[in-house]
């Protein structure tokens, strides 16, 4: 790669380079029946050759049983209490936890006690302490945190390019994720705006975690310190510090990632990695409903790669199921997600104090 | 514009909306005969209908007279001493100062004493104190700092779009400028790497000033505080803190601009402005030898505008000459350039201390 050749690198652009020869079906209990679960996760499970939804769990018995009645593979519609009581636990092998952040721990705890594999949405929990408890209770079961960028083909190829030296030494990263949350939910009491449910804040916890985690993944490195600036003006953001946020991740050798995130801005997402020899840009990248695009530049080469778009959620569920069936540990495991939680806490502390906050000792 | 309509906005995309009806010719003395002056500035002057180079000034009498002998319009080739002595001062109306930063003041002082208009390269000088002196000595003459982005059509249209509300309220900005200085000059003793000549550093002073100043221009706002991280590892950067740099500009209302700059990274430049309603991206933007590109996004609209590329240096010189001939003040004047110097000093202080450094009181 040091000669800048791309020979062979893109032959298997969307190939599942992580796929083992395991086969079978992982049966899921879906915990939390919000729009994300119903419109994004469950269709992805249906599309995955290794997954099936057999149980749904909701605060409303009616919503759960209605869904069970109308969905081809769902056998049981449970309340949260029934889930905690172990009802129909023989009907599923794994759980997908897509509740508000601060509720992840309790469902993970029950799932682990029932010896189920766990795919838990990110951020892992509302606070570092609760995330640590989550890792502890899941010690004896498979735990994956749902970072769908880890199996996004464009992100994986960007990572391959960085690892192979295509951009030379990485010098700096720009990343952003913004969306108009209030248009999406039309609910000023949405849980992402409630610190009791969301945790440290609204924009960095929910969106900033994408450039944060994807930078860690693509660079295969963790930051040593962070700084941040945050501001909330809109009434709906009165309880969280970060209607608008920017944060910097400091890696070794003077490499920085500068990131922005806002739940109250036009939808946009990108990740740009600049090196001594070239540059990669993913734009858009983080939203599942937009086609991903990878631009690569080096010397006279400036190409935007065209490739089959993969459904990010199908890839994620299939990867998780493959790991479970192959009895292998998933890469974005509990420790990996816990590191993000510690970095997120540091970012919010930096946003509050203005200081550079070290994280190297904690990771 | 609040309806997202673009009607009429791009009819005069490359039109010189700043052009007065002044006519005539401004005759220039070119001070400093480096590659930038010879290959970028002098051809631009030749192409401008309002400019002419009549005098060149160099440390070498031979280089100056050789150029005078071979160039169609140059009448006099002077040494710096001759320039200071006022030799041939009747042969030019204005000077273009393109020497190392720390030498700007002395030539500006002589030019002002000779009552010449002054186009001074950016950054204005090596330090805030010297820049203040430069403003003082130029009090009675026209002084423009050479920010060619102010007359770049793509940047001006981006500014128009922001002013007209196309992106809604600006939420955040990403900007970067990087290049491989050592490949360009093959000289580890290049003046940009020497703090005595360059000032506070190498990358933010020379490159970071582009996203810094262009953000100020497009947003029509000044930052209230800054933070930064810098690192130098390569031997050639031993005397400057910022082989790699990232800095954040904090504007009112939680608006931030996150920027990166490096003299030792692949050539790249961009400016991205994200608002509550839409987004603009200029990429590439800051290098005169690359075609500028403006992407605009809002709702379902996602367009990359095609337009006649203008030579940035020709536009800059023509604007300056137009101001001189019309007896009007140029926009990027001494005070505007001095504000950048104060912000640059604050960025370097922030890079050294890690602290957030306020600049609001100084601007």
Q: Is the dihedral of CA B219, B220, B226, B232 positive or negative?
A: positive
CATH 3.20.20.10 is held by the domain B153-307+333-358: no
The arrangement of strands across the sheet holding B117-120 comes to: B76-79, B51-58, B26-31, B94-97, B117-120, B143-145
The answer to whether residue B3 scores a pLDDT higher than 80 is no
| Chain centre to alpha carbon of residue A317 | 12
Give the pLDDT score at B1. Answer: 42
B231 interface with A at CB cutoff 8 Å: yes
In chain B, residues with a C-beta closer than 8 Å to the C-beta of A231 are: 253-254
A-to-B residue pairs, Cβ atoms closer than 8 angstroms:
137
In chain A, residues with a C-beta closer than 8 Å to the C-beta of B226 are: none
Interface test with B, best of A174, A207, A269, A358 (most B CBs within 10 A): A174
Our CA-based measurement puts residue B319 at a distance from the nearest CA of chain A, in whole angstroms, of 33
| Chain centre to alpha carbon of residue B253 | 27
pLDDT digits (tens, 9 = 90+) for A174-233: 999 999 999 998 887 899 999 999 999 999 999 999 999 999 999 999 999 999 999 999
Give the pLDDT score at A2. Answer: 45
pLDDT digits (tens, 9 = 90+) for B315-353: 999 999 999 999 999 999 999 999 999 999 999 999 999
Say if residues B231 and B140 touch (Cβ distance below 8 Å): no
The answer to whether residue A3 scores a pLDDT higher than 50 is no
Write the ipTM: 0.95
Say if residues A89 and A107 touch (Cβ distance below 8 Å): no
In chain A, residues with a C-beta closer than 8 Å to the C-beta of B260 are: 171-172, 174, 256, 258, 274
pLDDT digits (tens, 9 = 90+) for B98-130: 999 999 999 999 999 999 999 999 999 999 999
Task: Kindly state the average pLDDT of the residues A254-274.
Answer: 98
* Nearest-by-CA chain B residue for A167: B266
Distance CA A327, CA A142 (A): 9
3-state class of B307 per DSSP? coil
Which residue pairs from A65-71 have beta carbons closer than 8 angstroms and sit at least 24 positions apart in sequence?
Answer: A67/A33, A67/A38, A71/A42
Give the pLDDT score at B42. Answer: 98
Cβ neighbours for B134, distance < 8 A, ≥ 6 positions apart: B104, B105, B108, B109, B120, B124, B125, B143, B334
pLDDT digits (tens, 9 = 90+) for A136-173: 999 999 999 999 999 999 999 999 999 999 999 999 99
Residues 248-267 (A) with a CB less than 8 A from some CB of B: 248, 250, 253-256, 258-260, 262, 264-266
3-state class of B262 per DSSP? strand
Task: Kindly state the average pLDDT of the residues B293-308.
Answer: 93
- Do the chains contact at B260 and A230, CB–CB below 8 Å? no
In chain A, residues with a C-beta closer than 8 Å to the C-beta of B279 are: 266, 268
| Chain centre to alpha carbon of residue B46 | 20
3-state class of B226 per DSSP? strand
Nearest to A279 among B254, B266, B298 (CB): B266
Q: Determine how many CB atoms are found less than 10 A away from the CB of residue A207.
A: 26
Q: Which of A110-124, A326-340, B295-309 has the least mean pLDDT?
A: B295-309
Q: Which of A78-82, A101-105, A189-193 has the least mean pLDDT?
A: A189-193
The answer to whether residue B5 scores a pLDDT higher than 70 is no
Give the pLDDT score at B13. Answer: 82
**Residue with token string 């994720």:** A177
pLDDT digits (tens, 9 = 90+) for B24-62: 999 999 999 999 999 999 999 999 999 999 999 999 999
**Tokens found for residue A205:** 């916890």
Residue B2 banded pLDDT, cuts 50, 70, 90: very low
The superfamily CATH assigns to domain A26-148 is: NAD(P)-binding Rossmann-like Domain (3.40.50.720)
Q: Which residues of B144-161 are buried (b: 16+ CB within 10 A; e: fewer)?
A: bbbbbbbbbbbbbbbbeb
β-sheet bridge partners, residue B97: B31, B120
B355 interface with A at CB cutoff 8 Å: yes
Q: Which of A20-29, A199-208, A240-249, B299-308 has the least mean pLDDT?
A: B299-308
**Residue with token string 């070119």:** B30
pTM of structure? 0.96
pLDDT digits (tens, 9 = 90+) for A295-333: 999 999 999 998 889 999 999 999 999 999 999 999 999
Nearest to B279 among A174, A180, A268 (CB): A268
**Tokens found for residue B167:** 């992106």
β-sheet bridge partners, residue B175: B259, B271
3-state class of B129 per DSSP? helix
β-sheet bridge partners, residue A256: A172, A250
Give the pLDDT score at A307. Answer: 86
Our CA-based measurement puts residue B341 at a distance from the nearest CA of chain A, in whole angstroms, of 23
C-alpha dist (Å) from residue B48 to A174, B33, B41, B149, B287:
38, 19, 11, 17, 20
Distance CA B238, CA B102 (A): 19
Domain with CATH 3.40.50.720 in chain A: 26-148
Give the pLDDT score at A188. Answer: 76
Nearest to A229 among B232, B248, B355 (CB): B248
Give the pLDDT score at A7. Answer: 66
Task: Kindly state the average pLDDT of the residues A228-255.
Answer: 97
Q: Is the dihedral of CA B165, B169, B170, B172 positive or negative?
A: negative
Residue B7 banded pLDDT, cuts 50, 70, 90: low
Domain with CATH 3.30.360.10 in chain B: 153-307+333-358
Helix (H) or strand (E) run with residue B184 in it: helix B181-185
Q: Which of B192, B162, B147, B176 is nearest to B334 (CA)?
A: B147
Distance CA A255, CA B172 (A): 21
Our CA-based measurement puts residue A100 at a distance from the nearest CA of chain B, in whole angstroms, of 25
């Amino acid at each position: 790669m040091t000669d800048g050749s791309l020979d062979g690198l893109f032959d298997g652009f969307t190939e599942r380079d992580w796929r083992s020869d395991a086969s079978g079906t992982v049966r899921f209990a879906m915990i939390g029946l919000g729009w994300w679960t119903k419109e994004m996760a469950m269709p992805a499970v249906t599309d995955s050759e290794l997954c099936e939804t057999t149980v749904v769990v909701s605060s409303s018995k009616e919503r759960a049983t209605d869904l069970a009645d109308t969905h081809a593979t769902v056998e049981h519609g449970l309340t949260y209490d029934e889930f905690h009581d172990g009802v129909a636990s023989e009907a599923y092998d794994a759980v997908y936890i897509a509740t508000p952040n601060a509720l992840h721990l309790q469902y993970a705890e029950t799932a682990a006690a029932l010896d189920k594999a766990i795919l838990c949405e990110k951020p892992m929990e509302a606070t570092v302490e609760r995330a640590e408890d989550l890792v502890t209770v899941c010690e004896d079961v498979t735990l994956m945190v749902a970072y769908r960028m880890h199996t996004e083909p464009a992100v994986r190829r960007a990572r391959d390019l960085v690892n192979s030296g295509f951009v030379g030494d990485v010098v700096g990263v720009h990343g952003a994720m913004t969306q108009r949350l209030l248009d999406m939910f039309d609910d000023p009491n949405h849980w992402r705006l409630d610190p009791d449910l969301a945790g440290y804040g609204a924009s960095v916890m929910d969106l900033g975690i994408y450039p944060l985690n994807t930078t860690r993944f693509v660079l295969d490195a963790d930051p040593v310190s962070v700084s941040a600036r945050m501001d909330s003006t809109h009434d709906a953001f009165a309880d969280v510090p970060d209607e608008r946020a920017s944060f910097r991740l400091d890696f070794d050798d003077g490499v920085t990632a500068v990131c922005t995130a806002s739940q109250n801005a036009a939808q946009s997402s990108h990740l740009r990695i600049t090196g001594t020899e070239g540059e990669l840009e993913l734009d858009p990248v983080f939203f599942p409903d937009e086609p991903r695009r990878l631009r690569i530049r080096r010397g006279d080469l400036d190409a935007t790669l065209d490739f089959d778009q993969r459904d990010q959620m199908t890839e994620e569920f299939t990867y998780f199921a493959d790991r479970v069936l192959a009895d292998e540990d998933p890469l974005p495991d509990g420790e990996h997600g816990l590191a993000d939680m510690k970095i997120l806490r540091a970012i919010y502390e930096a946003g509050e104090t203005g200081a550079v906050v070290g994280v190297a000792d904690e990771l």
